């Protein structure tokens, strides 16, 4: 690349001092600050040297990238978010801003969302545990009252009812245990198209039997940074859910909607029964299900796995002709804390 600073006119410095965002022009080797504008100096104040030190450290870590985003959090809660652009082999242009209030705002949104989901989850737990306990208590009370009068077959009937309710409780607790199991993601570069094809091939026989048509519009060379087995499980959950709900001759579509240097946006659609709008906010709640025999943890686990990998999963109102639409936000690079804020803002 052509050396940028050798052609850096003083007029540019004057112009950069007028903009309302921090700007730094620096050289990595040897470490040198070529220019920093007035806005940055006012924003950084006595933190200027610490910010420089951390930026230079990150430049080494991300030296292969043309552009990257990161954030710097200080012990007192002050947060600087910045984007660095590589101008030449050694020179970088960095834009910075104080995102402390934005971070607090989005953290509050995230925390409120967490407590809303926790409240819904606890209500579901109380319901799922309370019903069997009430039935069990009633059954045993009746058995106790008539134990001296009933014959052995009647006593066995009520004992079996009690055992059935205990089994129901045990099954629910087992599902809770499966959902709460800790997951450690090990992201690496993988072919998105390759993972999708593997999931489709895994279900090919059932799809052919039921004449389910699958269309996939993803470039063969598109790479993502995921834990391949965990991401495979996410896609498999979506496909299995579709096969459970789709009638014969149903359709599934997996399409690339957008891509940038940080994320791939993948749309997963099927033309099965639509999910009522009032249930869309509950669809990722653990143990929530609209199926008679569903466990209610497939989508909750899928969201959990996507967030573990630095991405996300959400449901959207589908376009005409489709019943269900999910959006997968998939990292194409290692995700920094600042970049995770971009996921929240989408």
How is residue 240 annotated by DSSP? H
Task: Please report which confidence band the pLDDT of residue 340 belongs to, taking 50, 70 and 90 as the band edges.
Answer: very low
Average pLDDT (164-193) is 79
Question: Percent of the chain, pLDDT > 70?
Answer: 81
Tokens encoding 44: 């950084």
Measure the CA–CA gap between 161 and 139, rounded to whole angstroms.
7
Domain ranges of the chain: 5-98, 103-180, 188-345
Residue 91, burial from CB neighbour count under 10 angstroms (0-12, 13-18, 19+) = buried
Give the pLDDT confidence score for residue 60 in this predicted structure. 76
**Cβ neighbours for 65, distance < 8 A, ≥ 6 positions apart:** 86, 333
Average pLDDT (5-31) is 73
Stated as kind and residue range, the H or E segment containing 121 is helix 100-146
Measure the CA–CA gap between 25 and 106, rounded to whole angstroms.
29
Strand-pairing partners, residue 5, are none
- Is pLDDT at 6 greater than 60 in this prediction? no
Which CATH number describes the domain made up of 103-180?
A: 1.10.287.130
Lowest mean pLDDT among 7-11, 219-223, 321-325: 7-11
Stated as kind and residue range, the H or E segment containing 172 is helix 152-180
Q: Are 193 and 218 in contact (CB under 8 A)?
A: yes
Q: Are 230 and 183 in contact (CB under 8 A)?
A: yes
Average pLDDT (75-94) is 85
Give the pLDDT confidence score for residue 106 in this predicted structure. 61
Query: Which position has the token pair 């996300």?
Result: 312
Strand-pairing partners, residue 86, are 92
Give the pLDDT confidence score for residue 281 in this predicted structure. 77
Give the pLDDT confidence score for residue 58 in this predicted structure. 82
Give the pLDDT confidence score for residue 89 in this predicted structure. 80
Measure the CA–CA gap between 86 and 88, rounded to whole angstroms.
6
Query: Is-cis flag, bond preceding 290, omega within 30?
Result: no
Average pLDDT (171-190) is 75
Average pLDDT (261-275) is 90
Domain 188-345 adopts which CATH fold?
Heat Shock Protein 90 (3.30.565)
Residue 40, burial from CB neighbour count under 10 angstroms (0-12, 13-18, 19+) = buried
Give the pLDDT confidence score for residue 175 in this predicted structure. 67
Summary mean pLDDT of the chain: 81
- Is pLDDT at 341 greater than 90 in this prediction? no
Task: Please give the full DSSP string across 28-84, using - where no structure is assigned.
Answer: TTTTEEEEE-HHHHHHHGGGHHHHHHHHHHHHHHTTT-SEEEEEEE-TTS-EEEEEE
Task: Please report which confidence band the pLDDT of residue 239 belongs to, taking 50, 70 and 90 as the band edges.
Answer: very high
- Is pLDDT at 13 greater than 70 in this prediction? no
Report domain 5-98's class: alpha beta
Measure the CA–CA gap between 343 and 276, rounded to whole angstroms.
25
Give the pLDDT confidence score for residue 301 in this predicted structure. 83
Give the pLDDT confidence score for residue 345 in this predicted structure. 42
Give the pLDDT confidence score for residue 267 in this predicted structure. 96
Q: Is 303 helix (H, G, I), strand (E, B) or coil?
A: helix
Counted residue by residue, the chain has a size of 346
Give the pLDDT confidence score for residue 11 in this predicted structure. 58
Query: Which position has the token pair 């599902």?
Result: 175
Q: Is 308 helix (H, G, I), strand (E, B) or coil?
A: helix
- Is pLDDT at 291 greater than 70 in this prediction? no
Q: Is 321 helix (H, G, I), strand (E, B) or coil?
A: coil
């Amino acid at each position: 690349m052509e050396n940028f600073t050798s052609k850096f006119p003083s007029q540019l410095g004057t112009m950069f001092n007028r903009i309302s965002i921090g700007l730094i022009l620096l050289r990595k080797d040897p470490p040198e600050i070529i220019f920093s504008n007035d806005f940055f100096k006012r924003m950084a104040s006595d933190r200027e040297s610490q910010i420089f030190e951390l930026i230079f450290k990150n430049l080494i870590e991300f030296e292969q990238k043309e552009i990257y985003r990161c954030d710097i959090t200080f012990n007192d809660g002050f947060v600087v978010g910045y984007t660095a652009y590589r101008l030449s082999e050694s020179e970088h242009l960095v834009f910075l801003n104080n995102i402390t209030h934005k971070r607090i705002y989005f953290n509050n949104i995230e925390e409120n969302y967490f407590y809303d989901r926790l409240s819904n989850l606890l209500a579901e737990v109380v319901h799922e545990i309370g019903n069997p306990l009430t039935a069990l208590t009633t059954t045993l009370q009746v058995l106790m009252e008539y134990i001296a009068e009933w014959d052995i077959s009647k006593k066995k009937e009520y004992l079996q009812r009690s055992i059935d309710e205990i089994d129901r409780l045990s099954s629910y607790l087992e599902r809770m245990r499966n959902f709460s199991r800790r997951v450690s993601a090990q992201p690496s570069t993988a072919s998105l198209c390759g993972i999708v094809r593997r999931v489709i091939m895994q279900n090919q026989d059932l799809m052919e039997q039921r004449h389910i048509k699958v269309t996939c519009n993803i470039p063969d060379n598109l790479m993502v940074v995921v834990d391949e087995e965990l991401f495979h499980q996410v896609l498999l959950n979506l496909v299995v859910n579709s096969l459970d709900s789709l009638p014969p001759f149903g359709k599934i579509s997996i399409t690339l909607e957008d891509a940038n240097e940080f994320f791939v946006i993948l749309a997963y659609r099927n033309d099965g029964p639509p999910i009522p709008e009032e249930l869309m906010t509950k669809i990722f709640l653990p143990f929530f299900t609209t199926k008679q025999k569903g466990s209610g943890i497939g989508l909750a686990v899928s969201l959990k796995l996507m967030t573990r990998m630095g991405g996300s999963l959400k449901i959207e109102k589908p376009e005409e002709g489709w019943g269900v639409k999910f959006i997968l936000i998939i990292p194409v690079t290692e995700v920094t804390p600042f970049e995770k804020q971009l996921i929240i803002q989408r």
